[in-house]
Amino acid sequence: MASTTNRIKILYTIPNFDTAGSGKALLHVAKRLNPEQFEVHIACFHNRGSFFKVVENSGIPVHILQYTTTMKPYYRGLLNCYAISRMLKKIQPDIIHSFHYAADYSEALSAKMAGIKWIYTKKNMSWGGSSKNSWNLRTRLADAISVQNTDMMRQFFNHSKKATLIPRGVDTTIFKPLPANELIRKQWNILPEDRVFMCVANMVPVKGIEILLKAFAKTVTKHPNWKLLLVGDYNNDYGKKMVELQKQLNLNKEVIFCGKQEHIVDYLSIAEMVVLPTLNEGRKEGSPVSLLEAMAAGKNVLASNVSGINDQLAHFKKHLVEAGNTDVWASALNANFDLSKAQHSSIGEEFRTHVLKNYPIELEVKRCEQLYLKLYES
């Protein structure tokens, strides 16, 4: 498929911009591709979601397109794929890069029917069970795969010539050490003597928030001036259970559910430490950007020793905590609560230096560009 310009035309596909996490990851790369080499388009199922307006305002053309289909019964699925392939041909991309999180292979099949090269990003550690065959088909149909961590590479794509390791990056000009935002402290009634640590994650079971709450409850007697901010959407069954657990553990004054927030950097400015207690089960992590943002902002971090995180903290083994172990997490919290603000700041400087070298967004973009050029020239 030849582009209508001299540039390589990339079509990014994503189901929606409802939750913004994957959408932000897509946009961070898409808007930074070299405009002299690449022409960028985006396709998604609908125009709902608060982040959709941000995408529209980026100036990148957006196509509202149902680019996947149910494959059973198979004859109907194949007919639908052919219809989708005709819609893709109208856009005329040279390469489609899918940010769809699911084990769907209809998009890849449609791209094949249209004669368009197709890439997908593997974003989590799910593979087996009922979705195994679909993941295998998705991978077999792909021309290339962007892999987010080394465990993925070993477990799912060992010796595969299609797979390229491209971890997430972060904008270090936005996420950087900043003075404490006093409006945020005032909003949540955080006193001058209070010390803050936080977790940035939408409330889903794999994030292990119950482990964090139980571990924190074991430390509050010794460290009564520490407050935990939980920043992320908790408007679901799991989130409601965590609110109930907070009450059961008598942490009403020590734990603050802040809900989903747009300007995370403002919240990071008032924290000394950021934690991520992901469980070692289910989909786990791919390359958690919330941890990279905290590190770039010069914060001390603690996180579970699971896939994705253990790449990011490979040089900081003491900051990896056994996933799902309340006592070990309590011990790690206690040890870090004993540190002074100056010590937290010093550790945070080391983390920022590590991100500047290994995880800037420019490096992620460069790796994507190299992958596109290699695929196009092949």
Task: Tell me the per-residue pLDDT of 161-211, one tens digit each, with 9 for 90 and over.
Answer: 999 999 999 999 999 999 999 999 999 999 999 999 999 999 999 999 999
Inform me whether the pLDDT recorded for 310 exceeds 60: yes
Is residue 93 pLDDT above 90, yes or no? yes
How many residues make up the chain in this entry? 378
Average pLDDT over residues 25-47: 97
CA 50/CA 47 separation, integer angstroms: 9
- The confidence score (pLDDT) of residue 49 equals 81
pLDDT at 4 over 50: no
Average pLDDT, the chain: 95
> Could you tell me the maximum CA-CA distance found in the chain, to the nearest angstrom?
67
β-sheet bridge partners, residue 63: 43
Do 95 and 118 touch, CB atoms closer than 8 A? yes
Give 5's pLDDT tier (boundaries 50, 70, 90).
low
CB 16 within 8 A of CB 44: yes
Return d(Cα 113, Cα 298) in angstroms, integer.
Answer: 48
From residue 170, how far is each of 202, 288, 351, 359 by CA, in Å?
A: 19, 10, 13, 6
Look-up of token digits 């680019």: 67
- 5-9, 68-72, 267-271, 352-356: the lowest-pLDDT one: 5-9
pLDDT at 6: 86
**Sheet containing strand 300-304, strands side by side:** 255-259, 226-231, 195-200, 273-276, 300-304, 320-321
Which pLDDT does position 288 carry in this prediction? 92
Q: Which of 172, 173, 236 is nearest to 201 (CA)?
A: 236
For residue 20, name the pLDDT band (cuts at 50, 70, 90): low
- The CA–CA distances, whole Å, from 341 to 102, 133, 183, 299, 346 equal 42, 51, 20, 11, 9
Question: DSSP readout, 22-91?
Answer: HHHHHHHHHTTS-TTTEEEEEEES-S-STTHHHHHHTT--EEE--------SHHHHHHHHHHHHHHHHHH
Cis omega (within 30 of 0) for bond into 288: no
CA 107 to chain centre: 22
What is the CA 94 to chain-centroid distance, rounded? 26
Nearest of 6, 86, 14, 2 to residue 48 by alpha carbon: 14
pLDDT of residue 285: 84
Which domains does the chain possess?
Answer: 8-168+361-377 (3.40.50.2000), 182-358 (3.40.50.2000)
Query: What are the phi and psi torsion angles at 257 (to 5°)?
Result: -85, 110
At residue 19 the predicted structure's pLDDT band, cuts being 50, 70 and 90, is: low
Per-residue pLDDT, averaged over 132-152, amounts to 96
Distance, CA of 279 to CA of 305 (rounded, Å): 9
State the Cα angle at 131 between 126 and 137, rounded to 5°: 105
What is the percent of the chain where pLDDT is above 90? 90
pLDDT at 276 over 80: yes
pLDDT at 1: 43
Return d(Cα 355, Cα 294) in angstroms, integer.
10
